Chains A and B, each alone.
Chain A
C-alpha cells in the first residue's frame, strides 16, 4: 500500500541515523487490546540497496497503529489506561517467566500468551524480578492483544525494602544497568503491545537510574504537540 524510497550517501566507515519523511495513512486499521477490537498488524519492511552492489540489508516487523495513554486518576489514585482514546478496564495477569530453566520457544510463548487471552486478560505485567521478556513474547502479545507492563530489574525485596535491608542503592554498576535498559528498549520498542515501562517492583530505582530512565523514555518533543502539524 505504501512504498517510499530515499537516496542517501554514507561516507566510508560512518554510522548515521536517518528518518524517513513521515508516511500518511487515512483511517488505518487500528490495533486494539483483547476484547476491544481487532489486533490489526501491518508488515513494515525497510531495505537498503547500495549502488554497484545491490540489496545490502533488510529488516521487517509487524507493526500496529495504536495510541496508548496512561495517567494517575486524581479521584482514585489508580492508573488509568486509554487505547486509541478509549478507556480500558485492565484485566491483568502477573507474569514472571515461562520456564525456570529458560527453555523458551515460540511454541511455548504462543501457548502461554493465547491461554491468557482465552482467559480474557488484556494485560501481562512482567515482574521486575523476572526477565525483560523476549521479542517472541511480545510478538504473541501483539497478535492476541495483551498489553504489556514491563518492569526493569529492581524489586522491593532485594533492593532496599527486604529483610535484611540490602542493596539500597541497587546494583553495583549503574552504567551497566542503563546500558542493559537502553539496549532492551531498542529491542522491544516497536511492539504494539508494549504499554508501559516501569522502574521496578514495589520500589523506585536509585535516583540516578530513575532520572536516566525517565529522561530516556520521555515522549519525543516531536510528538508533544497534539494539533497535528
Chain B
C-alpha cells in the first residue's frame, strides 16, 4: 500500500536524443525499455534542461566557461528536433483499495507527450504551468512502472542575429516561455532555449478525496492585535460514493530556533 503524500521522482532518469531512438513511447514503456545509460541513452538531470544533461555527461562543454557557448550548436541552426529529447525512468507504486495516484510535472518547457506502461497522455504547451495526470488506472499490476516523456522545445525558438541584441529576433515572445534564452545585453543565448523537464516531477498518493491548491489569507484589525486566518481549499471526491469527510486545519507556532514542537 502506497503511503499518502508526495514522492519526488528525481533519480534514475535516462535521456536520449529523439532522432537517435527508433522506438515509440509505447514500445519504450512496454516491450523495449532502455536498460541503462548506454548509447544513445545517458544519465539525465531531472529536474533540469536538455543542455544540463548534455553538459553533465560531458557531451558538450559547460557554456559558462570561456567562449565554450560558441562551440554549442544553436537550436536555430540545428533545428528543433536536435534538442527534442526522450526522458525515461521507472518507479515502484502499488496501491491499496480506494487509493489514487497523480503524476505531477511542476514545469515542462515547452510541450510533451507522456507514456506510462504503454498509455499516452499529451501535455499542453507552456513553460509556466503544472500538469497533474490521474494515473491510477494505468499503473502496472506488479508495481513496476515504466515512464517515458518526449519533450519538445518552444515552438518559436528564434534565431540570433549576428548583431545579437536583447531577445535576439524576439520570436521567443510568441510563446509563453522565458525570454532571456535568446540572449540579452548581459548574456549569450541558451542554445536549447531551456528545453526540458525543468521543474519537479512527483507522484502524489491520496485516498478517495484529494486536496487541491489551498488558499490562505490573513486579515488584521485593532492595530494587528486581532487577526484572522481565512482558508479555502478545493476538494475532489474520486470515488463512486458520497464521501463523508472530516476536514481539519491546524496552525502550530513555528519551531523556535532548536526547540521542537511535539
- The chain A residues found within 8 Å of chain B, CB to CB, are 1-20, 22-30, 40-59, 61-63, 65-67, 84-85, 96-97, 100-104, 127-132, 134, 153, 155, 157-159, 162-164, 166-167, 170-173, 176-177, 179-181, 183-184, 186-187, 189-190, 220, 222-223, 228
B63 x A180 contact (CB < 8 A): no
Residues A45 and B252 in contact in the complex (CB < 8 Å), given A56-B210, A228-B226? yes
B214-262 interface with A by 8 A CB criterion: 214-255
CA of A27 to CA of B225 in the docked complex: distance in angstroms? 4
Residues of chain B within 8 A of A100, CB atoms compared: 63-64, 187, 190, 194
Q: How many residues of B contact A (CB 8 A)?
A: 93
Q: Can you list, as one digit per residue, whether each of B196-209 has a CB less than 8 Å from chain A (1) or not (0)?
A: 10110000001111
Taking A58-B5, A102-B52, A102-B194 as contacts, is the C-beta distance between A84 and B224 under 8 angstroms?
yes
Within the complex, which residue of B187, B227, B228, B249 is in contact with A4, where a contact is CB–CB below 8 Å? B249
Residues on the A chain within 8 Å of B229, using CB: 2, 22-23, 25, 44, 63, 65
Question: Known: A22-B230, A59-B211. Is A131-B178 also a contact (CB below 8 A)?
Answer: yes
Our pick among B187, B198, B241 for the contact of A102 (Cβ within 8 Å) is B198
B173 partner, pick from A22, A84, A159, beta carbons under 8 A: A159
Residue of A nearest to B199 (CB): A134
B94 within 8 A of A: no
Given A51-B245, A153-B128, A223-B219: A158 touches B173 (CB 8 Å cut-off): yes
Tell me if B126 and A179 are in contact (CB < 8 A).
yes
Return the contact of A103 from the options B48, B235, B240 (Cβ within 8 A): B48
Tell me whether B49 is interfacial, beta carbon within 8 Å.
yes
Distance in Å: Cβ of A30 to nearest Cβ of chain B: 6
Q: How far is the CA of A67 from the CA of B222 in the complex (A)?
A: 13
Q: How distant is the Cα of A179 from the Cα of B123 in the complex, in angstroms?
A: 13
Contacts of A24 in B (CB 8 A): 226-228
Q: Can you list 25 A-B pairs with a CB-CB distance of less than 8 A?
A: A2-B229, A7-B247, A8-B246, A10-B237, A18-B235, A30-B224, A42-B252, A45-B248, A46-B248, A48-B245, A53-B208, A54-B207, A57-B206, A57-B209, A67-B224, A97-B178, A101-B63, A102-B47, A129-B167, A132-B128, A158-B179, A166-B169, A171-B176, A180-B128, A183-B129
Of the candidates A49, A167, A183, which one forms a contact with B130 in the assembled complex, judged by CB atoms under 8 Å apart? A183
Min CB distance, B62 to chain A, in Å? 9
A13 B173 Cβ-Cβ under 8 A = no
How many residue pairs link A and B with beta carbons under 8 A? The number is: 328
Q: Which 6 pairs of residues, A with B, have the shortest CB-CB distance? A: A56-B207, A228-B221, A158-B173, A166-B170, A101-B52, A157-B166
Distance of A179 Cα from B4 Cα, bound (Å): 29
- Chain B residues within an 8 Å CB radius of A50: 207-209, 243-245
Query: Min CB distance, B59 to chain A, in Å?
Result: 13
Listed residue (A2, A57, A66, A181) with the most chain B CB atoms within 10 angstroms of its CB:
A57
Cα–Cα, bound, A12→B209 (Å): 10
Decide: A12 and B241 in contact? CB cutoff 8 A: yes
Sample of 7 further A-B pairs with CB below 8 A, known A3-B249, A17-B234, A190-B215: A29-B253, A42-B253, A44-B229, A45-B251, A56-B210, A172-B174, A228-B226
A104 CA / B199 CA spacing, docked (Å): 8
Most buried by B among A20, A102, A190: A102
Min distance, Cβ A107 to any Cβ of chain B, angstroms: 13
Cα-based distance from A96 to B222 in the complex (angstroms): 39
**CB-CB under 8 A for A157 and B216, given A18-B247, A103-B48, A171-B174:** no
Shortest B151–chain A CB gap in Å is 13
Give B70 Cβ to nearest chain A Cβ, in Å. Answer: 15
Q: Are A2 and B251 closer than 8 Å at their CB atoms?
A: yes
Query: A173–B176 contact, CB under 8 A?
Result: yes
Q: How far is the CA of A103 from the CA of B236 in the complex (A)?
A: 34
In the bound complex, CA of A24 to CA of B249 (Å):
13
| Smallest Cβ-Cβ distance to A152: which chain B residue | B128
